[in-house]
Amino acid sequence: MAHIGVQMPLTVGACRHLMFGNEENYSCVLQILKIIQLNGEDGRPLQPFAYHDGDKYIHAGMGADLVDLVEQGFLRQGRIIRVTKYTKSNLEGDNYCVVTIQRCELGAEKGGRIGSPSLLKKTEEPPVGHFDAQAIQAAVQQGYPNQVVPPPPPVVAGVAGFQHRIVASSAVAAGPVVMSPRVNVDNITPDAIGSHIVVRVTVIGEKKDFFDHRKQMTKYRRTMEMHDGTGEIGAVCWEEAVDATEQIELNAVYLIQQWGVGRAHSVYSRVRHPRQLIFNSNTVFTKVPNNPAIPDCLFSFIKLNEVDFMSRLKRVDVLAVVDDAGSRMASATRSESEGEGAGSKGKGKDTRPKTTLRSDSWLVDPSRVKCRVVLFDHFVDALSGLEGKVVAIKGLVTDSVNGRCLKSKRDTTVIVVDDNNVAHAAVQDWYNNNLQDRAIWRAIAGGYSADGRPDHTSTLPIEAMDIGTVKKNKLDAKEKRFTFIIYANIRIDNRDPVTYNGCPVEECNRKLHNMGGGMWFCKTHDEVVQGRRQKLKLNFRAYDGTGSEYVTVFNTVSSWVLQKKADAMHQLEERGDFEGVNVYQHILTEFQKKKWKITVQAHTDKEGEHKGKATWIGIDMEEIPR
């Protein structure tokens, strides 16, 4: 214990470094905001106490040395301290990062709070790095102009310049090419039928069979993907077009006529286009000379911080730095249906165990977020030796492989390294100039906070289970929280209100007790708060064929699935007129029509008002396409 009474300025930003950083010898100056006396088995105070840096405050534990200082009266509310040693830990099951101050030096004892600090949220971004976001965006637009400004229409050679035509059906005359109006891919709608497109074919799927129960016969289909520089679109081939497309050359440019348009379906393509092309016996493919206006790869980059809020198996392209290139992992045995590029289970499908290779690497981009990318099979060594280098990767998909991540796909993933590209150079400069903040870059690792948003502190895999299995084995009968995933339909009692008077602190879901005079009591904070905040709570029965159980979903996730804020739902509840009731009931009815993937934390309280009762809290929900 040293430097008692010494004046020390607070270290602004220290709470962010303690929560997000991993520097073992980091030292900072803080003020004690509050000490809550909790007695342990030996009667000594345990935790927590809150401290702040003048801007933000966080809750933390105290080590044995600080407990002694509290008992001796040296450590009190308002005291300035210099942190000289601290530890961090993750509580398994709670997925929560805990900071514990082990040693400190005592400074001056202030009479009041310095500044007006606000709570540092676990999902809050680390400090902004030193870079010009607009300059990076401008460089990306210059390096990959096709993302922003569509290229000019490709110049198609005359009839004499065509190399060959592919006619799906012999019933279609192979006469001269009739030049119908041309349409860009990004403008394809049902009204565009009768036009032609000039595209580069980037993906040609395998020929697959399915049984048509209506006609009682086996049919075949094939999927394709293509682009023209303005956008990408998927296509599904039927009938004679399936065999005709075997003559299509990958990455070649084709003029395509006599196609249909339908609504995009995830079974056939994961390209981000609302429509898909339909090729049948009337479709004509004409190969044309290669056109440089149509790039080999059409990138549509996202920022890595968007991966948090994307559903599973969404196609993405990223421009990022390889922060850590993982080594090849030991072979893993799995069934073909579980692996990369696997087909659906069924007749004629090979479901025998398959041995595969994988590697886990980490990418980071100027959003200051690190994301894991899992590479399979022939991509397993693609990032080896590229640590600190910028790569553009096309055709990754979002997934959950031991937590939220991106993974490669055999047919769609393309990795580009181009040191001469201005976009790569701009991102490289950002990385080189911000390495001092590397310790506090946020990492997406698949954990969840109590309110359902990722807090990135846990890398434990979350297992999918049947409701019946959980109940039969009493996995929810423990006081420690058990996290798992269920795939279920739901039923909600529309008579119960979905809004309530909640604590004004955003991450607290406690229902407030009205004490009158505009004063409300929060049991979680054990204090009176001024004002209230409308919050959402959905309580529904989830069932999956093996059993059912009530699940409660709180504010953040409830808003996410209903696509409505708590204030809007509360206004509909309070209106009471015919129109308001209809809109309110329609929102809840549409919610129940869908099937959901629900991440659940279940436990049983051993004491208190819910003693002996299993509680299932939904901390994340994702719609399952039917």
Domain ends where: 487, 516, 535?
A: 535
Question: Mean pLDDT throughout 335-362?
Answer: 55
Residue 258, both tokens: 């006599």
Residue ranges of alpha helices (H) inside 389-503 are: 422-433, 467-472
Asked if pLDDT for residue 245 goes beyond 50, the answer is yes
Asked if pLDDT for residue 2 goes beyond 60, the answer is no
Q: What is the pLDDT of residue 21?
A: 64
Q: What is the pLDDT of residue 164?
A: 55
Handedness of CA 386, 392, 394, 399 (dihedral sign): positive
CATH number of the domain that residue 65 is part of: 2.40.50.140
Contact 559, 565 (CB under 8 A): yes
Give the residue with greater pLDDT, 341 vs 551.
Answer: 551
Q: What is the pLDDT of residue 322?
A: 94
Question: Mean pLDDT throughout 525-538?
Answer: 81
Query: Is there a single domain that holds both residue 163 and residue 217?
Result: yes
Q: What is the pLDDT of residue 1?
A: 44
Contact 74, 62 (CB under 8 A): no
Query: Is there a single domain that holds both residue 504 and residue 488?
Result: no
Contact 101, 82 (CB under 8 A): no
The pLDDT tens digits of the residues spanning 360-409 come to: 888 999 887 888 898 887 888 889 889 999 999 998 988 876 667 899 98
Give the residue with greater pLDDT, 272 vs 191.
Answer: 191
Q: How many domains does the chain have?
A: 5
Q: What is the pLDDT of residue 390?
A: 94
Contact 332, 356 (CB under 8 A): yes
Contact 56, 18 (CB under 8 A): no
Provide the b/e sequence for 533-558 (b: ≥16 CB within 10 Å): bbbbbbebebbbeebbbebebbbbbb
Query: How far does CA 275 lie from the centroid of its chain?
Result: 24
List of E strands, 381-422: 390-400, 404-407, 414-416
Q: How confident is the model at residue 308 (pLDDT cuts 50, 70, 90)?
A: low
For the chain, give the longest Cα–Cα distance.
99
Structural Rg of the chain based on CA atoms: 29
Stretch among 39-53, 425-439, 575-589, 608-622 having the lowest mean pLDDT: 39-53
Query: Is there a single domain that holds both residue 494 and residue 419?
Result: no
Q: What is the pLDDT of residue 393?
A: 93
Query: How far does CA 534 lie from the centroid of its chain?
Result: 26
Q: What is the pLDDT of residue 7?
A: 59
In a domain, 460, yes or no: no
Residue ranges of alpha helices (H) inside 112-267 are: 133-143, 240-244
Question: Mean pLDDT throughout 216-239?
Answer: 87
The pTM (predicted TM-score) of the whole model is 0.50
Domain ends where: 535, 554, 589?
A: 535
Question: Mean pLDDT throughout 138-160?
Answer: 58
Amino acid letter, residue 292? P
Q: What is the pLDDT of residue 89?
A: 67
Q: How confident is the model at residue 137 (pLDDT cuts 50, 70, 90)?
A: confident
Q: What is the pLDDT of residue 56?
A: 84
CATH number of the domain that residue 506 is part of: 2.20.25.10
In a domain, 450, yes or no: no
Asked if pLDDT for residue 483 goes beyond 80, the answer is yes
Q: How confident is the model at residue 334 (pLDDT cuts 50, 70, 90)?
A: very low
Query: Is there a single domain that holds both residue 382 and residue 477?
Result: no
Mean of the per-residue pLDDT values for the chain?
75
Question: Mean pLDDT throughout 100-113?
Answer: 78
Asked if pLDDT for residue 234 goes beyond 50, the answer is yes
DSSP string, 183-221: --GGG--GGGTT-BEEEEEEEEPPPEEEEETTTTEEEEE
Rounded distance, CA 285 to CA 55, Å?
Answer: 64
Query: Is there a single domain that holds both residue 493 and residue 617?
Result: yes
Q: How confident is the model at residue 457 (pLDDT cuts 50, 70, 90)?
A: very low
Question: Mean pLDDT throughout 239-251?
Answer: 85
Residue 415, both tokens: 């990795």
In a domain, 438, yes or no: yes
Query: Is there a single domain that holds both residue 556 and residue 585?
Result: yes
Query: Is there a single domain that holds both residue 517 and residue 492?
Result: no
Rounded distance, CA 170 to CA 153, Å?
Answer: 31
Residue 31, both tokens: 């003020």
Give the residue with greater pLDDT, 191 vs 606.
Answer: 191
Query: Is there a single domain that holds both residue 165 and residue 94?
Result: no
Q: Give the phi and the psi of residue 304 in degrees, each rounded to 5.
A: -65, -25
3-state secondary structure of 591: helix
Rounded distance, CA 611 to CA 613, Å?
Answer: 6
Q: What is the pLDDT of residue 42?
A: 47
* Closest-CA residue to 468 (of 493, 487, 490, 482): 487
Asked if pLDDT for residue 24 goes beyond 60, the answer is no
In a domain, 296, yes or no: no
Crossing angle of helices 578-593/555-562, nearest 10°? 90
Question: Mean pLDDT throughout 34-48?
Answer: 54
Rounded distance, CA 435 to CA 602, Å?
Answer: 40
Per residue, the 3-state secondary structure of 262-286, as one string, reads: EECCCCCCCCCCCEEEEECCCCEEE
Query: Is there a single domain that holds both residue 558 and residue 471?
Result: yes
Rounded distance, CA 489 to CA 496, Å?
Answer: 19
Query: Is there a single domain that holds both residue 617 and residue 483?
Result: yes
In a domain, 323, yes or no: yes
Asked if pLDDT for residue 94 goes beyond 50, the answer is no
| Listed ranges 3-7, 265-269, 327-331, 568-572; the one with the highest mean pLDDT | 568-572
In a domain, 227, yes or no: yes
Name beta bridge partners: 79.
Answer: 109
Tally of CA atoms within 13 A in the half-sphere of 313 that contains its CB: 12
Query: Is there a single domain that holds both residue 165 and residue 252?
Result: yes
Residue 357, both tokens: 């290779």
* Closest-CA residue to 296 (of 253, 245, 235): 253
Asked if pLDDT for residue 484 goes beyond 80, the answer is yes
Asked if pLDDT for residue 321 goes beyond 80, the answer is yes
Question: Mean pLDDT throughout 267-296?
Answer: 82
Asked if pLDDT for residue 451 goes beyond 70, the answer is no
In a domain, 192, yes or no: yes
Q: What is the pLDDT of residue 449?
A: 34
Q: How confident is the model at residue 609 (pLDDT cuts 50, 70, 90)?
A: low
Query: Is there a single domain that holds both residue 312 and residue 194?
Result: no
Domain span holding position 520: 499-535
Rounded distance, CA 12 to CA 52, Å?
Answer: 9
Domain ends where: 535, 552, 580?
A: 535
**Nearby residues of 71 by Cβ (< 8 Å), 6 or more positions away:** 44, 45
DSSP string, 53-107: -SSEEEEEEE-HHHHHHHHTT-S-TTEEEEEEEEEEEEETTTTEEEEEEEEEEEE
In a domain, 133, yes or no: no
